[in-house]
Amino acid sequence: MIEQLTVTGFAVARDVTLAPGPGLNVITGETGAGKSIIVDALDFLFGGRHGRGVVADGAESARVRASVSTGNDVLTVERTVRLSGRTAGRIGDDSAPAERLRELGARVIDIHGQSEQLTLLRPAVQLAVLDAFGGLRDQRDALAARVRDLRALLREIEAIGADSRERERLLDQLRFEVDEIAQAGLVPGEDDALRREQRRLASIERLLAASATALEALDAPAIAEAVAALEEIAESDPDATALAAEGVTLEQAAADLGRSLRAYRETLEDDPERREAIDARLDLIARLRRKYGESVEAILQYESSARERLGAMETAGSSLEELRERAAAHAVSAGEAAASLSLARREAAGRLVAEVATELARLEMPGASLAAGFACEDAPDGLAVTLPDYEVVA
């Protein structure tokens, strides 16, 4: 969900901010008012191809920025194109190429044309909708796990069966990757901690100034004067004793806060060397992320997988024939699971077609209908299944 969209210098949208509310939001206007510019800006933000022609007259660049909710997180996404034609994208604090922006966009937005629903034209999305309707996600995930295991075995067979020169090349590559990640000494979550520290060090002057202002207010005689006045009131009016006690508590709390604030201020020290070290560390993590995964956790997972593969290749503990037998058994098991899932999908498609037909009749749309077609295509590395080449559920 897009929580806020800001468009600056983009065609006729010089400075537009939208904050969609929950539910349906409608943008109306005369022809040429710029409604389609909002759609173009969203397309550009999420990796669409738009050159310098979208930069408004007199502007140096066009910028689109959005706050995007992805479940429990809110991401800031931004993309800019300059008069030179150069574009730059960011997701949060990280640079993001167009492909990564398109991947995010596929998860958070969908564009409906006047006569088509673009996402539903993708077979992968059609299958996902059908699996969700039929309650087949667990069955699909189980099949995916079997296929991953089969492919891992096939890769191992290919690696062991490769000629010695190719095998040595793969071993060298795996050793380099494992060593590179190991030498980095990554710790899960450290990139987030480093960014927090980076922001703190960048704000040292402001933090020191704010601390000084707070201490000056806490050390001012006004609090002591107020406490003394309250004690004088209590001496003259016994019913106001509670006020005097609260004044003493306030004075003690201010003193405690002052001590805590002074201790905090002692930790505030501009450290250019530490800032450089943090920048260098974040650059290293960014380089590893580009090569091995989108997060520190993904990089470490890649290292673990690479170590396992390296160990398998170095020890060659399983013979090639044993691996082939295991792969054949996995292929049979996966083929049976794939056939079972396909049959379940066809049964679910029949129910979906029937329910949609009921809804269409209720909406008095006699000319509309839904049919589901299933096709089996031969592939060299596909699973062996016994199913019709083509079947329509209508």
Q: In sequence order, what DSSP letters do the residues of 31-98 get, joined into one string?
A: TTSSHHHHHHHHHHHTT----GGGBPTT-SEEEEEEEEEETTEEEEEEEEEETTS-EEEEETTEE--H
Round to whole Å and give the CA distance between 150 and 140: 15
Share of the chain above pLDDT 70, in %: 94
Which has more pLDDT, 92 or 35? 92
CB 372 within 8 A of CB 393: yes
- Give residue-wise pLDDT tens across range 121-158: 778 788 888 899 999 989 988 988 888 888 888 887 77
pLDDT at site 273:
86
pLDDT at site 185:
92
Which has more pLDDT, 239 or 164? 239
Round to whole Å and give the CA distance between 257 and 264: 10
Q: What is the DSSP letter of 196?
A: H
CB 36 within 8 A of CB 7: no
pTM of the model: 0.39
Angle ∠(340,341,342) on CA atoms, nearest 5:
90
pLDDT at 88 over 80: yes
| pLDDT (mean) for 276-282 | 89
Backbone angles phi, psi at 114, to 5 degrees: -70, -25
Given phi > 0 = left and psi -120 to 50 = alpha, else beta, which region is 115?
alpha
Integer angstrom CA distances of residue 79 from 55, 90, 141, 274: 13, 6, 35, 30
CB 309 within 8 A of CB 111: no
